[in-house]
Amino acid sequence: MSKSVSELLWAEKYRPKSLKELVNQEEIVKRLMKFVEERNMPHLLFAGPPGTGKTTAALALAHDLYGEDWRKYVLELNASDERGIAVIRSKVKEFARSKLPGDIPFKIVILDEADNMTADAQQALRRIMEMFVETTRFILIANFPSKIIEPIQSRCASFRFTPLKKEDVVSRLKWICEQENVVCHQDALETIYEISEGDMRKAINILQAAAALGEVTVSHVYKVVGLAHPKEIREILNLALQGKFIESRDRLRELMVTYGLSGTDVLKQMHREIFSADLKIPEDVRVTIADYIGEIQFRIVEGADDEIQLTALLAKLALLGKKISSMKG
């Protein structure tokens, strides 16, 4: 028998089912639990970076309010797909106007990616939120709340989600590894956190991809995300600063071919490494390199050739290294 989608996707399989399971958003959970206790709530706006628990909190709130049959009372739409005025006037309005018998006198409409809705759709939604407030409550989820019109924002209680803490992400990943009987290394889980930048969904997906290669190690993590190992990037920077321009350029080419990196990928990793304690250079040199990287990144974004620009960066680093050596001499 084939596995279900939820079994194949760990990010969905291990999504918290209740508000009590959410971590790192204690203040938000406390406020939402109050709504569950009172069996009542206003329209809500969940805002914050991706993967911080916004959609999970909305679904968990619905689960805690309605119990196991919560799906009967919830309409979940992704506004990035269904973002036009027609959907708001037909599907949402039709759902909002009908009243269901039960302990809780309202249903819930969850609009994910609400910041992608067109201006016309938002205006139509504003009117529906006003007209059917007795029978329906809306939960709007957005990465960029400033894109949602002011009249809608003023009708909602706002909740700001923050990126998850390192210890929370690592402990959750470790727990998932235990459930899936996966051997994981502590440094690999910490690396996953650094790459995901507090995005739990991304972290779990990286973990699952790395686990497919066997043990979850640092090298496997970098392999599945298509990034070079930091020590390889540091080696290129050190070679350039030592004046070994040709050698550093050859290593860079080899790296880009091996990992299939773009120029922007390389620059992001270089930028991360110049602020790493493992790169032993004075602070004023870090400042100069950061300035170089910013200039090269701008040129690449504007359409310049990746290889030529990265070679120019290494050349600048080689000249900088020689200048530092001559000053020491």
pLDDT digits (tens, 9 = 90+) for 55-114: 999 999 999 998 888 888 888 887 666 656 666 777 777 777 777 766 788 899 898 888
Give the model's pLDDT for residue 91. 75
Domain count, the chain: 3
- CA distances 187 to 166, 193, 329, Å, are 12, 10, 40
Q: Is residue 237 located within the same domain as residue 287?
A: yes
Same domain, 127 and 175: no
CATH of the domain at 120: 3.40.50.300
Residues 105, 175: one domain? no
Residue 84 shares a structural domain with residue 40: yes
Query: Does 135 lie in the same domain as 63?
Result: yes
Same domain, 156 and 66: yes
- CATH number of the CATH domain containing 190: 1.10.8.60
Q: Tens of pLDDT along 157-196?
A: 999 998 888 998 999 999 999 999 999 999 999 999 989 8
Query: Measured between alpha carbons, how far is 146 from 212 in angstroms, rounded to an integer?
Result: 39
With respect to residue 328, please indicate whether it lies within any of the assigned structural domains.
Answer: no
Q: Which pLDDT score is estimated for 37? A: 92
Domain that holds residue 217: 166-225
Which amino acid type is present at position 320? Answer: L
For residue 246, the Cα-to-chain-centroid distance in whole angstroms is 37
Q: Do residue 15 and residue 118 come from a single domain?
A: yes
Same domain, 92 and 43: yes
Residues 17, 156: one domain?
Answer: yes
Q: What is the mean pLDDT of residues 151-160?
A: 93
For 44-64, the DSSP string reads: EEEESSTTSSHHHHHHHHHHH
Q: Are 161 and 52 in contact (CB under 8 A)?
A: yes
234 and 221 in one domain? no
Could you tell me the strand order of the sheet in which 74-78 lies? 74-78, 107-112, 136-142, 43-47, 156-160
Q: Percentage of the chain with pLDDT > 90? A: 47
Mark which of 132, 160, 188 sits at the end of a domain.
Answer: 160
Dihedral-angle region of residue 24 (phi above 0 means left; psi in -120 to 50 means alpha; beta otherwise): left
| Selected residue with higher pLDDT from 120 and 86 | 120
For β-strands 74-78 and 156-160, DSSP reports them as unpaired
Task: Tell whether the model's pLDDT for residue 282 goes beyond 90.
Answer: no
Q: Does residue 281 sit in the same domain as residue 302?
A: yes
In a domain, 28, yes or no: yes
Give the per-residue pLDDT at 82: 60
Q: Is the dihedral of CA 254, 258, 263, 269 positive or negative?
A: negative
Residue 8 identity: L
Q: What is the pTM of this model?
A: 0.77
Tell me the pLDDT of the chain averaged across its residues: 87
Kindly tell me if the per-residue pLDDT of 277 is higher than 80.
no
End position of a domain, from candidates 182, 199, 225: 225
Q: Is residue 58 assigned to a domain?
A: yes
115 with 48, same domain?
Answer: yes
